[in-house]
Amino acid sequence: MSSTYLIVMAFSMIVPFLMQRWLKSTYGKYSKVRNTGNLTGADVAKAMLEANGITDVTVEPVAGQLTDHYDPRAKAVRLSEGNYDQPSVAAMAVAAHEVGHAIQHNTAYGPLAARTALLRPAQIGQSMGPIMVMIGFGAASAIGGAGILIAQIGLVLFGAAALFQLVTLPIEFDASKRAMSEMTRLGLATPDDNSGSRRVLTAAAMTYVAGLATTVAWLLYYASILNRD
């Protein structure tokens, strides 16, 4: 194995692990801190939806921890059990963030359409891109240009996965920005609540940054393999 491969492998294991540890630690801390208004995540979500005139989105509990998400097809804000019915700072932050996505959907926020268009190519690229690169490169000595072409197609597909993650970043940051703004505007959170909420949302955002950084590192590694040929 080359030293470059080992470096990329170590990077792709260590950085996401550290970001996940940061998120779990921060979330764990603020899930034990009661917010000032004694509002559950469900309370916060419903208040934000109502204030923004969004009447066709439901708020539902979902099993698991940090499984919170907004489902645009079902038009549902789904909150993990610990956030749905707990009045913690972490619960209000996570709930507000997911409603931020619902507000994006309701206002036809541009980057959402771009991410939707990239979803299928990104899924294919994430699973098949690296395989095609390695198979194509390995077969190049036997089948020549056809092998390189397979590897190049794999690289493009994997690039779609990186692009999907890149487009996801502003969507996530914007949802957090909307969350903080709406909680303040509606009087749901005090400055102390906002301080903890911001820490939770920042830690969550960094997991997306780590994911993109890891994908880009592998993308550059695969590109360097082809350039050596």
Just list the catalytic residues. 98
Distance CA 12, CA 175 (A): 26
Helices (H), 52-109: 81-84, 89-106
**Alpha carbon 167 to chain centroid distance?**
10
67-89 burial code (b ≥16 CB/10 A, e <16): ebbbbeeeebbbbbebbbebbbb
Distance CA 28, CA 21 (A): 10
